[in-house]
């Protein structure tokens, strides 16, 4: 049933690219905590210059969502509402999934290059993503997330946030981004994927 609801939301809201002023935020259950997350999203949109990082204008806040997800509609839960800078990382990450979807040919070519650099990657969480392909994909997404943070809040704070994230999820991916970012950046730039 939940999948059907998300598909209907996707059809209703579409996936049009938009500017930060055009973000449409739907509260799925209209609860207080969802309202707090919506206010946080609006704050980061007002605080940071995210124009080039917006790839879908449709956002759903669902307190019952287990984790943030990018598709079929960009969805955030209400866990850890705290720091706007930490949430900015999640916002960038999920938006970047829309970017990589729109640039699938370049992403797949970049993944082939990453396989040569990292022939053996974790194939499941918490070190990797849900499978081998997703782990390679997340090397790109997480590098771009880190790059987006650096552009918006500076190197030091971005590194702190990504380091903290590496303690909980995508552990190997985030550590590789921090320790071997130049190699990943070169692959990303070779395939014109830098935002």
* pLDDT tops 80 at residue 158: yes
Q: What are the CA-CA distances from residue 39 to residues 13, 104, 134, 166, 190 (Å)? A: 20, 32, 31, 26, 38
Quick: pLDDT tens for 39-73.
999 999 999 999 999 999 999 999 999 999 999 99
Radius of gyration of the chain (CA): 16
For the full predicted model, state whether its pTM sits above 0.85. yes
Strand-pairing partners, residue 178, are none
pLDDT value, residue 21: 67
């Amino acid at each position: 049933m939940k999948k059907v609801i998300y598909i209907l939301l996707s059809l209703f809201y579409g996936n049009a690219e938009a500017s930060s002023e055009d973000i449409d935020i739907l509260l799925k259950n209209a609860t207080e905590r969802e309202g707090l997350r919506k206010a946080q999203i609006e704050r980061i949109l007002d605080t940071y210059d995210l124009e080039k990082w917006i790839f879908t204008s449709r956002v759903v806040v669902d307190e019952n969502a287990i984790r943030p997800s990018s598709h079929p509609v960009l969805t955030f839960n209400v866990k850890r509402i705290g720091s706007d800078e930490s949430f900015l990382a999640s916002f960038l990450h999920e938006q970047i999934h829309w970017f990589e979807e729109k640039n699938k040919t370049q992403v797949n070519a970049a993944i082939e290059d990453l396989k040569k650099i990292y022939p053996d990657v974790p194939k499941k969480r918490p070190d990797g993503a849900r499978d081998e392909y997703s782990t390679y994909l997340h090397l790109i997404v997480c590098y771009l997330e880190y790059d987006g943070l650096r552009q918006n809040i500076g190197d030091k704070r971005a590194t702190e946030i990504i380091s903290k994230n590496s303690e909980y999820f995508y552990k190997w991916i985030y550590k590789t981004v921090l320790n071997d970012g130049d190699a990943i950046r070169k692959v990303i730039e070779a395939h014109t994927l830098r935002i």
